């Protein structure tokens, strides 16, 4: 790609117009072609590129990349030191290849993927909270408006190697929220992500998948059909251009977009060093509400959630009503049911059944509690974990028992 008065070839401009999918004038088309080019030049979250494009515009900033010398006044306006600019050029210029941009736009045309830029009315301005690290554009397969703020959105994320308990909780929360009009945002990975997407679709709701690679690539391959279903009613999106491969860095950067696109983030299951904790910390940095689902205290798959509950400002999530409260929607479900039963008394839920199956005098194993309560061992272990967190039950070598009122006070004392 060389500097020239028109900056872009006729082919790139024509492909950009098709990717945008709406009427634009020549000046805006030039800007959008520059946005598509920047998407191919930089890695997600490049702050220098973000500052340059925000201060100067995509086309003007790109001319400085292509040109022989940067304008000192322009760099000052973008708050970029000359040394930063030189280092950035060393990253970007090896990727200055017109064919790369053409290939990305060609793939977008084949897959009916739209190029969404900040000047588009469908742009999800919530991600602008990322500042200079915000995506320069999004490549969207499906309905771009699903990314917007017409409805509240919650990110439901968690471990790929999820347990049956984790997938059950993710599906239960996602289905009920989606059915009540909340959009479910996740990363389309195996495990918790997939369970959340599938449940939202089954409930007839809207779900959005943010990918670490190009929106034209089904990753993981086993979720090809799932991604196609998501695109039918929701959106599959990426800031990486079509053809881009999912790399570890791109997964980590993708997580910031998931957090920014959502009004709240809920981690259902996560190991001690899970990538889902990265999404959680992005949510906290953005000031978004964070929730975590507790699991069995013996489960490594829930260690990260317990870490968030203990060390960070995470709310304990035990069901859809807790997520509604996190979103500021109150605890009532779509059908008007509250956290108490319709008759005004406390509902007989799983936690009550586990309490009834425990004893204050003798310890009982999780298997025995499961038999007495008529619940699965996985569900029992989850409720035992909640009771332990609240200081209502205690685990010993021989099993579990309920704590008396006096013992609860001792356990909860600092």
Q: Are 338 and 332 in contact (CB under 8 A)?
A: yes
- Torsion angles phi and psi, residue 400, rounded to 5: -110, 150
Give the confidence band of 340 by pLDDT, cuts at 50, 70, 90: very low
Q: Which of 243-247, 308-312, 334-338 has the lowest mean pLDDT?
A: 334-338
Reported as a single tens digit per residue, the pLDDT across 354-396 is 888 898 888 999 998 888 887 888 888 888 888 887 788 989 9
Q: Are 365 and 357 in contact (CB under 8 A)?
A: no
DSSP letters spanning 105-155: HHHHHHHTEEEE-TTSTT--GGGGGGGGGS-S-EEEEE-GGGGSSSS-EEE
Nearest to 103 by CA among 113, 93, 92: 113
- For the record, the structure tokens of 340 come out as 């108490």
Please state, in angstroms and rounded to a whole number, the distance separating the CA atoms of residues 146 and 150.
8
Please state, in angstroms and rounded to a whole number, the distance separating the CA atoms of residues 377 and 256.
35
Reported as a single tens digit per residue, the pLDDT across 251-260 is 999 999 999 9
Q: How many CA atoms lie within 13 A of 409 on its CB side?
A: 2
Reported as a single tens digit per residue, the pLDDT across 313-338 is 899 999 999 999 999 886 544 433 33
Please tell me the predicted confidence (pLDDT) of residue 407: 58
Please tell me the predicted confidence (pLDDT) of residue 326: 93
Could you give all domains of the chain from N- to C-terminal order, each with its CATH number? 10-111 (no CATH), 139-326 (3.40.50.450), 350-412 (1.10.10.10)
CA atoms 48, 54, 58, 62: torsion sign: negative
Q: How many Cβ atoms from other residues are within 10 Å of residue 395's Cβ?
A: 16
**Which region holds residue 401: left if phi is over 0, alpha if psi is between -120 and 50, else beta?**
beta
Q: How many Cβ atoms from other residues are within 10 Å of residue 366's Cβ?
A: 19
Q: Are 238 and 211 in contact (CB under 8 A)?
A: yes
Strand order in the sheet with 138-142: 113-116, 138-142, 235-238, 207-210, 183-186, 153-157, 264-267, 290-292, 315-316
Please tell me the predicted confidence (pLDDT) of residue 134: 97
Q: Are 154 and 266 in contact (CB under 8 A)?
A: yes
Please tell me the predicted confidence (pLDDT) of residue 331: 55
Please tell me the predicted confidence (pLDDT) of residue 115: 97
pTM for the full model? 0.79
Please tell me the predicted confidence (pLDDT) of residue 403: 87
pLDDT (average), residues 150-163:
91
Task: List, in sequence order, every residue forming a beta bridge with 399; answer none if it has no partner.
Answer: 396
Residue bearing the bigger pLDDT, 62 or 398: 62
Give the confidence band of 300 by pLDDT, cuts at 50, 70, 90: very high
Q: Are 263 and 290 in contact (CB under 8 A)?
A: no
- pLDDT exceeding 70 applies to what percent of the chain? 91
Does the structure show a pLDDT above 80 at 150?
no
Residue bearing the bigger pLDDT, 58 or 410: 58
């Amino acid at each position: 790609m060389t500097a020239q008065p028109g900056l872009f070839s006729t082919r790139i401009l024509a492909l950009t117009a098709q990717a945008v999918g709406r009427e634009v004038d020549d000046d805006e088309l030039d800007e959008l072609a520059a946005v598509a080019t920047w998407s191919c030049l930089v890695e997600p979250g490049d702050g220098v590129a973000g500052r340059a494009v925000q201060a100067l515009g995509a086309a003007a900033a790109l001319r400085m990349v292509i040109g022989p010398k940067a304008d000192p006044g322009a760099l000052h306006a973008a708050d970029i030191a000359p040394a930063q600019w030189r280092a950035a050029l060393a990253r970007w210029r090896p990727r200055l290849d017109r064919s790369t941009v053409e290939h990305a736009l060609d793939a977008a045309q084949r897959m009916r993927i739209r190029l969404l830029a900040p000047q588009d009315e469908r742009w999800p301005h919530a991600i602008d909270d990322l500042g200079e690290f915000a995506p320069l554009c999004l490549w969207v397969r499906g309905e771009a408006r699903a990314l917007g703020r017409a409805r509240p959105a919650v990110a439901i994320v968690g471990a790929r190697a999820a347990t049956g308990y984790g997938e059950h909780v993710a599906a239960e929360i996602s289905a009920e929220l989606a059915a009540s009009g909340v959009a479910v945002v996740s990363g389309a990975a195996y495990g918790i992500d997939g369970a959340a997407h599938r449940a939202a679709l089954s409930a007839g709701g809207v779900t959005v998948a943010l990918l670490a690679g190009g929106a034209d690539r089904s990753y993981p391959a086993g979720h090809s059909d799932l991604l196609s279903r998501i695109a039918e009613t929701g959106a599959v999106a990426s800031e990486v251009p079509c053809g881009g491969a999912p790399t570890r860095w791109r997964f980590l950067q993708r997580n910031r977009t998931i957090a920014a696109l959502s009004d709240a983030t809920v981690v259902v299951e996560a190991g001690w060093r899970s990538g889902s904790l990265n999404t959680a910390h992005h949510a906290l940095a953005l000031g978004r509400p964070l929730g975590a689902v507790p699991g069995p205290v013996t489960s490594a798959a829930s260690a990260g959630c317990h870490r968030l509950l203990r060390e960070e400002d995470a709310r304990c999530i035990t069901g859809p009503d807790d997520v509604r409260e996190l979103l500021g929607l109150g605890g009532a479900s779509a059908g008007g049911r509250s956290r108490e039963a319709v008759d005004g008394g406390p509902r007989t839920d799983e936690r009550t059944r586990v309490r009834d199956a425990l004893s204050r005098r003798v310890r009982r194993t999780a298997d025995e509690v499961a038999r007495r309560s008529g619940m699965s061992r996985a569900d029992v272990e989850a409720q035992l974990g909640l009771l332990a967190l609240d200081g209502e039950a205690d685990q010993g070598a021989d099993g579990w028992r309920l704590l008396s009122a006096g013992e609860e006070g001792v356990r909860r004392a600092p």
